[in-house]
Structure formats: structure tokens, C-alpha cells
Amino acid sequence: PGTLYIVATPIGNLADITDRALKLLADVDLIACEDTRHTHKLLSAFSITNKTISLHDHNERQRQDYIGELLSQGKSIALVSDAGTPLISDPGFHIVRFCQENNHKVVPVPGACAAIAALSAAGLPTDRFSFEGFLPSKSGARKATLSALASEPRTMVFYDAPRRAIDTVQDICDTLGDNRQVVIARELTKTFETIVSDSAGALLQWLNSDANQLKGEMVLIIEGHKVDPNAIDDATIQTLKLLLKELP
């Protein structure tokens, strides 16, 4: 059997690449990349020349035969995405499954991940959290997603485009209320890194006042729903109403 290494790459700052990743990218028989042009830039920054092929959402299943053949010959392959950890809102799920089913080794080579980097600096509870991936780009679907999470008690982590930040935070105000704490972590590890934590209402005002905040890449983190220990839940209210009717 061969080995598939799942190699994390930087999310902006190239110095975040690990020694282990660099060594593997130089030594493996082949690098499977989400976008070969993108990965070539990374490789050339570290003077690594190695063979690459593309492996993205649209050809992942077709590539399986070729990758499977190489792995059966005992070869080693590194899987990388454009940035961060492969499979985290990035391609790779099918190939990892394929390797498991065919008894090839799958070895994670950890490193940067935007969701985890954002969470580590957000100042919201991290003992439990829920990674929600990309928010829908259309407001109707986005509001439905947010409403469905209204009583989620865990901190929620989303990927979203900053150009949509105003619309998204407006939708958060509409569905979860102006007071819900939200953290925007933009351009992490890059020159214009900005991490701001405030109520959804205040963040909306801030975004509207500074167009620079709508550029680049961002992670959005929403505080979980806080259970009010004094609040009476819906089921109890229903029971009390029924009892009230029966009272003389």
C-alpha cells in the first residue's frame, strides 16, 4: 500500500508552513493540488520542484484510478489545497475515503486552518464549538441557516466573503438579534489582519463606516445562544396555559 499525506499549507503568511510539510512536499512522488498554479507559487517560494496534478471537486472521483494505481505501487502522494487544511471546506473527502477502503495509509500533516486560527483569537467560548462551513450567498437561504441555529448553544464558526459582510451581519441582526456577540476575523496572518468582536448591531455600523473591511478573506464567529436560567420554556408555558383553563 501507498501513503496519502494530507498536508496543510499557510493561509497567508508563508512562514506558517511547517518543516515537515516542506520536507514531504519535496520528497513525495506526486503532489495532488486543488489548483496547480496556486501550489506552484508556494513550491517556488521554497525552491521545491516536484510533480503536481490537479485534484478538485470536479475531477476528484476521476483521479481516483490514477492515484489508486500509484498508491498500489507503494508510492507516496501529498494532497494540498489552495490554503490551510485540505478537506476543511476544501476538496479531498472522496480520495481519503477511497484510500481507507483500499487500505492505503492516510497521514495528516497538520498546520494552518482559518477556522481554528480565528477561534483561537476570538475570545468566545472554545470548549465546544460548531464548524458550519460557508454561509449561503443568498439572503433567504442565509437567514434560514441562521434561524435554524438560533438556539445552538455552542460557538459557531462560518466561512464567508467579506464583500457580503454587511448583508450577512444584517441577517444576523434580523434572525438572532442585534445583541448577539459576533467576531469578524479578516485577513488572518496577512498584512491587514483584523479581529473585531462586538454585538451584531455595533458591527453592522462599523462595517458600514469602513469599506476596507469588505476586502480579502474572513471567518465569522457567532456566540452561542445563552440559556436564561430564569426563562420559562415553551413546553412549560403550554402546560401552565392548559392548567389555567381548568382552574375555577
- Which of 58/245 has CB closer to ligand SAM? 58
64 φ/ψ angles, rounded to the nearest 5 degrees: -55, -45
> Cβ 131 to ligand SAM, closest distance in Å?
10
> Cβ 112 to ligand SAM, closest distance in Å?
7
> Cβ 241 to ligand SAM, closest distance in Å?
45
Q: Residue 2's CB: how many other CB atoms inside 10 A?
A: 21
Q: What angle do CA 139, 141, 145 make, to 5 degrees?
A: 110
* Residues 6 or more apart in contact with residue 79 via CB below 8 angstroms: 4, 5, 6, 7, 31, 32, 55, 86, 92, 95
- Which of 131/206 has CB closer to ligand SAM? 131
- Rounded to an integer, what is the distance from CA 63 to the centroid of its chain? 24
* Residues 6 or more apart in contact with residue 208 via CB below 8 angstroms: 166
> Cβ 45 to ligand SAM, closest distance in Å?
16
- Which of 204/218 has CB closer to ligand SAM? 218
- Which of 3/81 has CB closer to ligand SAM? 81
Residues found in the chain: 248
Binding site for ligand SAM (CB under 6 A): 11-12, 81, 83-85, 88-90, 113-115, 159-160, 185-190, 217-219
> Cβ 184 to ligand SAM, closest distance in Å?
9
> Cβ 126 to ligand SAM, closest distance in Å?
16
Whole-angstrom distance, CA of residue 111 vs CA of residue 18: 7
- Which of 62/191 has CB closer to ligand SAM? 191
> Cβ 193 to ligand SAM, closest distance in Å?
8
Q: Which amino acid is at 16?
A: D
Q: How many CA atoms lie within 13 A of 7 on its CB side?
A: 31
Closest by CA position to 50, among listed 76, 67, 72, 31: 31
- Which of 79/83 has CB closer to ligand SAM? 83
Q: Would you put residue 206 in left (φ > 0), alpha (ψ -120 to 50) or beta?
A: alpha
* Residues 6 or more apart in contact with residue 123 via CB below 8 angstroms: 183, 197
- Which of 70/142 has CB closer to ligand SAM? 142
Using CB positions, name the residue nearest to ligand SAM. Answer: 84
